[in-house]
Amino acid sequence: MRAPGLLSLTHEGDYTVVEAKDQHNVYKDYEDVNSGRAYDEDLAIRKALREHYSELNLTVTVAANVPLLAFAANGHASAKLDIEDECIRRFRSYVPGDKRRGVPDRLGEGRTFAKYNFRWGNEYFILYTVAMGYSTYQYILKEPGKGETVLSTNSTTDELVSTIGKWAFPDDDKYIYVYDGYWAKSKALYNEIEKASWKDVILIEGMKKTLTELMHKFFDSGDVYKDLGVPWKRGVIFHGPAGNGKTISIKALMHSLFQRQGFAIPSLYVKSASSTYSIRNVFTMARAMSPCLLIFEDIDTIVIPRTRSYFFNEVDGLENNDGLFMVASTNHLDQLDPGLSSRPSRFDRKYLFPLPDLDERILYCEYWRKKLADKPAIKFPQKLCPAIAGITDDFSFAYLKEAFVATLLVIAGNRSEDADTTGGGDDLDEYELWREIKNQVRLLRDEMQANAEPKCLRHPYHVQEQHPENSMVYGRPRWTGPSNEEGGKSLSFEPAAQMHLGDSNIGASSASWAERDPTIATAGDIPCVRPFEARTTAFPIRPAGHDWMSFMPPISIQNQEARQLHGAQ
């Protein structure tokens, strides 16, 4: 009996003869389908061009690096589309206009395959452009020069490529290198830095001078570091509450560097780098660009547990970091890894940017007074400066700025011919600016209080393991002692364990929370602050029998929250 195989059918009269083959041949078909040669579109086009233009030299570039058509569009050459001798592959699209700016609707055209007759001065070229993936390849054909062959480089084409490259990437181009997952050149950031100046920064003059001299002396002292045999790298940390001048001071440093060094010392600005791959890219670029100014904005979001060791290795490792001047900023110095904040060989100096005191707030008001000096409609006498400074205690510079901006916007919106804007008396309320800024300060202060950092543990991952000295005790509350003013019992605390809360230190064994702070109530294992104004507070409650890491959604408890929850015992 024959083994089953491929069947061959033939007809003989009333019968069909089935002939079985001894072997299956399916794999051969499979092999034929999957063993084709790899296809390279660029290679195929090069081959075709060499066959059709065998007497010409071929040079290939990409438009992102050598933009020939953009060079021609700016009047430096001419590029005429040739559709008589060659086909074109293109698509048309509708581009909506902008009626507000008077830009009409129009049609756009994209070309994925095209031929151009390109002229540069007295030289003529044949240019093919072909889109492949995310790139546009440019095939430049030119007759060989003296001593050249069709397979050698072409000196005239090389001169064209070099000229276009210098045009596209001028030496005096102004930009900042920015890393946000990848490196990019930012002219927008450069324009912002051009506006920055130390005169716009309300800071102790001695500190301005110290920061500027420290940076400039570093870049001027490469030979000194080498002679002393010490690494030519430095690092400083700007820290303090948000909105007090850290970022504008960094921009002022960059501006002073440009004024003194031009672009001889580039600035590299790191916005985010939350992986070891990104940190590697940052330091690879910095070493290639050194000497340079390397800036880490909010470094506490960059040096995190999964990247800290890698970051330290990049700073301290065997690779050469000569010429790196690092500036890092943070709003939370106490939350930084001690390897950053406490080790001089990485960041040698720390500079505090605290909330402005009374004198600094007066200086800031004077700054705005000078800015508004050419606005006669706004009366801003000198005596308003100490008055405004007096009502803005605990305001950061950012909040002070918002107070002035919001005030001016309200005044501009409410301006009328019969508006009372006259002054001249001792009563400050005669000045519209004073009346309105008091309202804005009150609103901003309410916002500050509403957004104040709560004194309760909101989630276990807020624990700061590197700061064991800042800790609190958590455990089960119990009601003991005499009744309080509201008729309930005082609350004391049974400690269960210690948790770390950054710079909070409000827990103590057997401490009476009601006596320590009447605004504090507790729920479960968590002491929480009851707001002065709001009569409802949300507490995270741990159900009985659940692990500490398990939380139910926050629930609201009214004035008698703790007593109603646990009951008087």
Q: Which helix (H) or strand (E) holds 233?
A: strand 233-239
Q: pLDDT tens across 241-262, in order?
A: 888 889 999 999 998 888 876 6
Query: How confident is the model at residue 269, as a pLDDT?
Result: 94
Position 29 confidence tier, pLDDT thresholds 50, 70, 90: confident
Under DSSP, is residue 303 helix (H, G, I), strand (E, B) or coil?
coil
Q: Can you read off the two tokens belonging to residue 464?
A: 């700061």
Q: Which residues contact 158 (CB under 8 A, 6 or more apart)?
A: 59
Q: Write out the two tokens for 517.
A: 């702070």
The pLDDT of residue 513 is above 90 = no
Mean pLDDT, rounded, for 414-436:
67
Mean pLDDT of 562-567: 40
Count Cβ neighbours within 10 Å for each residue of 77-103 and write b for 16 or more, e otherwise: bebeebeeeeeeeeeeeeeeeeeeeee
Q: How many residues does the chain have?
A: 569
Contacts of residue 323, Cβ cutoff 8 Å, sequence gap at least 6: 219, 222, 232, 233, 290, 291, 292
Among 32-36, 336-340, 528-532, 536-540, which range has the highest average pLDDT? 336-340
80 pLDDT more than 60 = yes
The predicted-structure confidence for 437-496, as pLDDT tens digits, reads as follows: 999 999 999 988 887 755 443 333 333 333 333 333 333 333 334 444 444 443 333 333
Of residues 232 and 171, more confidently modeled: 232
What is the Cα gyration radius of the chain?
36
Higher pLDDT, 19 or 277: 277
Check residue 37 and give its pLDDT: 75
Identify the band that residue 522 occupies on the pLDDT scale cut at 50, 70 and 90. very low
pLDDT at 350 over 50: yes
Q: How much is the average pLDDT of 386-413?
A: 91
Question: Of 351, 387, 388, whose CA–CA distance to 204 is shortest?
Answer: 351
* Closest-CA residue to 286 (of 254, 319, 248): 319
For Cα atoms 495, 499, 504, give the angle at the middle one, nearest 5 degrees.
105
* Res 11: pLDDT: 54
Q: Is the pLDDT of residue 47 over 60?
A: yes
Averaged pLDDT of the chain = 77
Query: Phi, psi at residue 432, to the nearest 5°?
Result: -60, -40
Number of helical H runs and strand E runs in the chain: 17, 21
Q: How much is the average pLDDT of 214-235? A: 91
- Say what the pLDDT of residue 404 is: 93
The predicted structure's pLDDT at residue 169: 84
Instruction: Quick: pLDDT tens for 133-173.
Output: 889 999 999 999 999 999 999 999 999 999 999 998 887 66
Calpha distance 232→314 (Å, rounded): 15
Could you tell me if 260 and 292 are in contact, meaning their C-beta atoms sit under 8 angstroms apart? Answer: no
